[in-house]
Amino acid sequence: MTKGQVIKCKAAVAWEPGKPLCIEDVEVAPPKDHEVRIKISASGVCHTDWAYLYEASRGMYPRPFPLVLGHEGAGVVESVGEGVTKFSPGDKVIPLFLPQCGECERCLSPKTNLCKKNWQNTQMGVLADGTSRISCKGQQVYQFIGVGSFCQYTVVADTSVTKIREDAPLDTVCLLGCGVSTGYGAALNTAKVEPGSTCAVIGLGAVGLATVMGCKVAGATRIIGVDINPDKFEKAKEFGATEFVNPKEHSRPIQEVLVDMTDGGVDYALECVGNVTVMRAALEATKDAWGVCVIVGWTETEEMSLVVEDLLLGRTLKGTYFGGWKSVESVPKLVDDYMNKKLKLDEFVTHTVNLDQINEAFDLLTSGKSIRTVVKLMEILQPSGQR
């Protein structure tokens, strides 16, 4: 029984920006009121984790260090704080960087998923009382966007976690905590891709591939995958891409190539890179009368330029946060879709590593060799022996 006690365990700690993660012994305090302590089984490594460590000065709001990164985790509830009614020890859960409190103006509106409960504090890596539950060598370690899943245990607000079915394999459904849900929802919820349409998905990492999957499910006829790394094309074909463009093979801007290929522009262009030049290219690749451009790639402070006429003529420019899904209610449904073989997840996992190899996961990501690397944190045995 660990309830009420400080748990000593391992975590990958980012001591400062630009430096590799260090595996450390950390202490995880018990959950306070309306908090849940989770034993993390596995966590995917998202581009956003890497970006906050290695590109913190480019386009991101500063975050305090030392920091435990990771926001694509899955695990089992270890204990709950006072006032927690929806979770019990042993529940399988996915922690969420985007909450759904169910009560605020935004949660009550069908127009958005952007619940801002605990927003200010989680953006700064702390829970509602202004502190983190993780410490190392007597120092507070911040929890990236309120999660911090590169730690064997973490504590989150009870509005930033969702319960999933018992038979879900944690080392794959963890991907629904960010990348796959984001891309899939970008196509379905944000772009609202229509049957018979033509789409361009720029950037074919996990987020882009999930976007391709969403475009296919929505019934798009042509799905043009764009990436500077042609190694991504084969996988994108499995997910439903019908044609490919490598910008490096063209002397002209990519938007011109796409406009020519589609007789005036695509119906939907989804930017899954996080580069403002590519974002503009995505907008300009859409058809003037009704084209929709969705920004999925992440950058917070950079400016993007565009020609006003491109909007005047009828294009729409939108962004998506977590694919537009209302997190607590949608993630368990996405888990069901995966279990019912309506949604692919296994195909995203190209590598699995132990916590002490976590820096290799970043190397695999930046070299373009991986789609998603899943980091194993804690062995969680089920009665059936299934993990």
Beta carbon nearer to ligand NAD, 75 or 203: 203
* Residue ranges in contact with Zn ion by CB under 5 A: 46, 48, 101, 104, 107, 115, 117, 178
Using CB under 6 A, pick the residue from 154, 159, 182, 255 that binds ligand NAD.
182
Footprint (CB under 6 A) of ligand NAD, residues 262-291: 272-275, 278
Report yes or no: 52 and 60 within 8 Å, Cβ to Cβ: yes
10 Å Cβ neighbour count for 181?
26
Q: Could you tell me which of 344, 384, 326 has the C-alpha nearest to residue 172?
A: 344
Least Å from the CB of residue 361 to ligand NAD = 11
Stretch that binds ligand NAD, among 46-54, 191-199, 326-334, 343-351 (CB under 6 A): 46-54
Name the amino acid, one letter, at 256. E
CB-nearer residue toward Zn ion: 166 or 329: 329
Strand (E) or helix (H) holding 318: strand 316-319
Q: How many residues does the chain have?
A: 387
> What does 253 interact with, of Zn ion, ligand NAD, none (CB < 5 to 8 A by kind)?
none
253 is a site residue for ligand NAD (CB under 6 A): no
Closest CA to 76 of 385, 381, 386, 383: 381
Exposure class string for 158-170: b at 16+ Cβ within 10 A, else e: bbbbbbbeeebbb
Nearer to ligand NAD, 286 or 320 (CB): 320
Contact, 213 vs 272, CB < 8 A?
A: no
Cβ-based nearer residue to Zn ion, 104 or 339: 104
Element (H, E) at 243: strand 243-245
- Partner whose binding site includes residue 226, from ligand NAD, Zn ion, none (CB under 5 to 8 Å by kind): ligand NAD
Q: Given the rule CB under 6 A, which of 18-26, 160-168, 178-186, 188-196 is the region that contacts ligand NAD?
A: 178-186
Task: Decide if residue 228 touches ligand NAD (CB under 6 A).
Answer: yes
Question: Could you say which DSSP state residue 58 is in?
Answer: T
Q: Is 35 one of the binding residues for ligand NAD (CB under 6 A)? A: no
Contacts with 301 (C-beta within 8 Å, 6 or more apart), sequence order: 59, 60, 61
Query: Of the ranges 34-42, 45-53, 141-149, 189-197, which one interacts with ligand NAD (CB under 6 A)?
Result: 45-53
**Residue whose CB is less far from ligand NAD, 58 or 342:** 58
In the bound state with ligand NAD, the residue whose beta carbon lies nearer, of 84 and 358, is 358
Helix axes 276-284, 254-261, angle to 10 degrees: 20
Alpha-helix residue ranges (DSSP H) falling in the chain: 47-54, 105-108, 119-123, 170-173, 179-185, 206-217, 233-239, 254-261, 276-284, 308-312, 327-339, 358-366
State the number of binding residues for ligand NAD (CB under 6 A): 33
For Zn ion, give the closer residue by CB, 101 or 217. 101
Smallest separation, CB 133 to ligand NAD (Å): 24
Which of 95, 99, 177, 208 is in the footprint of ligand NAD by CB under 6 A? 208
> Nearest CA to 199 among 170, 222, 165?
222
Residues at the interface with ligand NAD (CB under 6 A): 46-48, 51, 178-179, 182, 202-208, 226-229, 232, 247, 272-275, 278, 296-298, 320-322, 365, 368
